[in-house]
Amino acid sequence: MPVGKRIYLKREMPDPEIMNQFKSVPASNTADVMGRSCAMNPRIKLVSKPKAQMMVGPAYTVKCRAGDNLTLHAALNFCSEGDVLVVSNEEDSTRALMGEVMMSYLKDTKKVAGIILDGPIRDIDEIGNWDFPVYCTGTTPGGPYKEGPGEINVPISCGGISVNPGDIILADPDGVIAIPRKDAAVVLKDAQKFQAADEKKLIAAKNGTANRAWVEKSLEEKGFDIIDEIYRP
């Protein structure tokens, strides 16, 4: 089995019921209960116009050589409806990995839930208006090579975080997070509790009943000085 050129057709999948419940929890709330260390770098951002605010699906991981999309073409053949393609690209920003033709195939024929690319795309004049979640780092007219190597359904790094095949991908206008498949049930429960508490905080922030006493207490504990004077050099 040639390491660097492996295409795995199977992966362990998340519980669909648990996965679908994440559609009602903002990515920010979910990230907060995961140690705030599961979000992709904000260089990966939403560039299309999906009507649904939340995108959720199982990660279909694609490891590409920088600026090369042969393995990504293979993923188009093997991915399934509802998948979220998560594509690593060695953080290259010089060549578009996809354009309108490949994206149309994913959206209309394969009916995937969306795509996350750690790299640029092209044909943004069309793709940018689609009701289909596309997250990427930007655009360029420069096209890719098709030589390989690359792998499918192996652990990858995308947007500065680790993503394993079958992890739950949760994305909204704020960005993208990855939820480990084995931890999903616990994370969901914690995120739902956090969301309920956060909604109460929002109401208090609007009606003037927010308790801000914790701020000064925290400053004091961390050794800050609050000086009722003008700064003089």
Quick: pLDDT tens for 175-186: 999 999 999 999
3-class SS string, the chain: CCCCCCECCCCCCCCHHHHHHHHHCCHHHHHHCCCCCCECCCCCEECCCCCCCCEEEEEEEEEECCCECHHHHHHHHHCCCCCEEEEECCCCCCCCCCCHHHHHHHHHHHCCCEEEECCCECCHHHHCCCCCCEEECCECCCCCECCCCEEECCCEEECCEEECCCCEEEEECCEEEEECHHHHHHHHHHHHHHHHHHHHHHHHHHHCCCCCHHHHHHHHHCCCCCCCCCCCC
The pTM assigned to this predicted structure is: 0.94
Map out the domains of the chain with their CATH numbers.
16-192 (3.50.30.40)
The confidence score (pLDDT) of residue 2 equals 83
Quick: pLDDT tens for 9-26: 999 999 999 999 999 999
**42, pLDDT greater than 80:** yes
